[in-house]
Structure 1
Amino acid sequence: MMTRRNLLQAGAALGVGSVVRSTASAQALKFQMSSGDVMKTKGLVDIAEKLPINETSGDKRYRPKFRMGLGGLAAGNGFNTVSNDEEILGMLNKAWDSGIRYFDTAPFYGLSLSERRYGDLLRNKKREDYVLSSKVGRILTPSSEPLEKKWHWANPSPFHYKYDYTAAGTRRSVEDSLHRIGVSSLDIVFIHDLSPQNSDMGEDWTKYFDQAVKGAMPELTKMREEGMIKAWGFGINTPHAIYKAVDVADPDICLLALQYSILDHQQALEKTFPLLDERDISVVVGAPLNGGFLAGRDRFNYSSKIPQPMRKKFTAIDSIAKKHGIDIKTAALQFAEAPSTVAAIVPGARTAQQVEENIASMKVQIPADFWRELKAANLIAEEAPTGTES
């Protein structure tokens, strides 16, 4: 299981974000932070505290050693934010230098842009020193014509895509990713975006699921048995595919985006996590900050339409966080990482400063009274793990 954070003493060493700041919260509450702004970490940061890891010796299934990772959507110019190669490489180097050793990406992120930028860092590192996951389900092909549907990408690479969950398409997708990144292997492969929430598919997602049952799922199982990958699962924004797949396949680990955060976690706790626990399947939490909302962005998940109940919940949690000398982003990251079902979290970042503050947030000791107050106010589920139970 995970290592537990050390209790801070009054004379604990202070580092980046360690001064109790009060300037960022007001700006965050106005939801006006731009893509380059950073919500400063509040609270005492123990710079000697290491990032959390999984003790994997007794696990039946593969779990990545590192519980704090980096999501690759922003590296693909996600949310229509333009970044240059130098900025992203600076961010990636900051992540590496700060101890991040789990990197998640996908062919779809910027239509190969994220994978290629990840390769600028990872191809120069020893392969055994880090964990790498990418995804299958879309085959990219070069094109001189831009995509009609822009999705979330600003200035993506000149590719089109088609869905392909066959065995041959799955193996080709993995090989294409290896070439783009410039590495010899992937540790984890996620079957990407099999969900009714995917507007390309809608209700037709079950047809693609059936294709994956005959193609991608047995092919990834074969690749795991051959030693080409260590684990496979699903990378999805809704749990529908997992609920269907556990009876017909043998996944190891699933990336759940938009499904477990301090704002929205009831279904995961009541249904998804217990179902996975029965089968020793672990979870990587994607978008633990709800697409940047919990870091002060004017968007919720992947939309500029922010539900009013989420605004109200943000304000209530933020107020209690300030009372206890911390910030809501710090609470959100540690909340997402706390459950035993969770093997890792992969918050995204575009700048080195964002990485720096996210890592600082993982080294803050959050008072147990903060979590008790959230539960008393029904702002988080009573049964939600917080890392303070033991």
Structure 2
Amino acid sequence: MRFLFVHQNFPGQFKHVAAALAARGHEVHALGVNKPAEPVPGVRHALYREPAVPPMDVTTPMAAAMAELYSKVARGEAAARAMLAVQKSGFEPDVVVIHPGWGEAMFAKDIFPHARLITHAEYFYGGKDGDIAFDPEFSKPSIGGMQRVRIKNTHLLHALNACDAALTPTQYQKAQHPGWALDKIRVIHEGIDTRRFKPDANASVQLKSAGLTLRPGDEIITFAVRQLEPYRGYHIFMRALPLLQKLRPNARVIIVGGDGNSYGAAPPAGKTWKDIFLSEVAAQLDMSRIHFVGRVPHAVLTQLMQVSAVHVYLTYPFVLSWSMLEAMSIGCLIVASDTAPVREVIEHGRNGLLTDFFDVEKLAHATADALARREELAPLRAAARETIVKGYDLHDYCLPATLALMEEGWA
């Protein structure tokens, strides 16, 4: 069979399945805006240009939403031109697999009407128990807000309508989509490599700036996100630190994440969410025991989780981070937000501990209590890893299920 993958940052979620299809003898091509950090074995990769979007008047919220829609249509057009070039080269795919989040799927069926189109239905905005207006500090329900959400979903609706099948990582993410599309959507997680993400009693991490070497057994609290921003609970975590340090004065806090903004409202011009919420509590903190390490290589993040005594994960009702599942696979003792995507994986008191997203004091007490009861709570670590091994393992479940979807209907 012939497969074409389209992802603006290929391979993204398609890394393992694209390589596996090529290894099984299929002809696999891919399109993306950026050159992969490492080539995917057996996959022929081509680039297309990110479209230049002309300046638009975005002085009103609705105008800003329309400008965002324009960028999605422009990217869909750019991807369509790249698909036409692939077609003119003589490659006619049997299956086209696209992440539609940036607009790339909008015109795919016009180019390849006879190919089976599979999309990655990562998220749909405005669903029940979703992220919109979840945090009143940053967003409140309004007619204008819902109008912007409808525009924000436009390109996703086109993808859902055009696709023959879609896959999404969790039941929560599936449930956010409109009812008429649910029969198209399969729940298959991208998979966690439990052979790689596993406990290591001999792990160590050097914090050169502090002259420290961290090892399992140390009183280490980890908090790791792509960007330090409200969607991933950074503001809540920072506000919990003054009390947490009073309760556990010997603990060290390792904070992983960039200064940018991936989701939700952007910070005021010239500022970062990191600095805004740090400055809010800095006078109450012992900063010698709090370490901001920025974004780190995945191998270093894995080692940090392997030495972690308690790993804190907070999120709005939104896309569930791979990092939480990797932490569970490593056997971390996890204190997490009691939000819908987390509850799908963590059962309070069995394989982790849950706390109200907004309750700063409860988060501090739950984390301090987990540190104090580390030995007693060791069974939660084992249960966390077992959850991932049995339900989210890349090699034994997720990849085979994804391959079955890709090859479905073809002998």
Fold shared per TM-score above 0.5:
no
- Quick check: which has more Rg, 1 or 2? 2
TM-score (norm 2): 0.29
Structure with the bigger percentage of helix? 2
TM-score (norm 1): 0.30
Structure with the bigger percentage of strand? 2
Task: Give the structure, 1 or 2, with the largest relative contact order (CA under 8 Å, sep 6 or more).
Answer: 1
